[in-house]
């Protein structure tokens, strides 16, 4: 019995040490926050923002979410389309400004409005839209192209991180 307890204790200690090492490695060099800053395709206005949330939001938008593909028109700069075998260069001039047509639907401008609110929405409106799919401009209509059923499963913290990130990107007016 004593040897089993000892073996179990040693195994628990080794597992904890391995997990701590993995967390330390993630914190030291591979964190989603750090990667988020490295891949942000535009200059960010970080004044008054939670930097950890902004970095996480950039990671979710640019590495996990693919928001650029639908909300930037065109998504890539000339010579920078990875789908044409070119090295990726995001269209920074129109980054997340919307305007991509999907039949009768057009992607929304996600850049901050004059009050600094992404897509002109408060965080509560943004969160509710991604959770319910209800179009904030027409509450009788559900968003048909936006994958809100997927994004709606994100935690409130993840959605806040996305919102914070979007509030730091340059505002781009629609033509």
pLDDT (tens digit per residue) in 113-151: 999 999 999 999 999 999 999 999 999 999 999 999 999
Q: What is the pLDDT of residues 1-22, one digit of tens each?
A: 444 443 444 444 444 444 444 4
Pair 167, 92: CB distance under 8 Å: no
Q: Say whether pLDDT at 79 is over 70.
A: yes
Q: Say whether pLDDT at 160 is over 60.
A: yes
The H-or-E segment that residue 110 falls in is none
Q: Say whether pLDDT at 166 is over 50.
A: yes
CA 118 – CA 160 distance, rounded (Å):
11
**Which regions of the chain does DSSP assign to beta strands (E)?**
101-102, 105-106, 134-135, 138-142
Residues 77-98 have a mean pLDDT of 98
pLDDT band (50, 70, 90) for residue 93:
very high
């Amino acid at each position: 019995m004593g040897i089993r307890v000892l073996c179990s204790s040693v195994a628990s200690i080794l597992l904890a040490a391995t997990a701590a090492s993995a967390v330390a490695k993630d914190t030291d060099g591979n964190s989603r926050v750090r990667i988020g800053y490295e891949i942000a395709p535009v200059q960010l206005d970080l004044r008054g923002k939670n930097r950890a949330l902004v970095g996480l939001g950039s990671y979710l938008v640019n590495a996990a979410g693919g928001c650029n593909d639908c909300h930037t028109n065109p998504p890539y700069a000339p010579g920078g389309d990875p789908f044409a075998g070119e090295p990726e260069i995001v269209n920074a001039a129109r980054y997340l400004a919307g305007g991509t047509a999907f039949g009768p639907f057009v992607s929304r401008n996600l850049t901050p409005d004059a009050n600094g609110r992404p897509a002109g929405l408060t965080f509560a409106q943004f969160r509710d839209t991604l959770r319910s799919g209800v179009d904030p401009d027409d509450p009788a209509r559900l968003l048909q192209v936006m994958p809100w059923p997927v994004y709606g499963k994100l935690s409130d913290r993840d959605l806040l991180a996305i919102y914070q990130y979007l509030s730091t990107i340059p505002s781009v007016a629609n033509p």
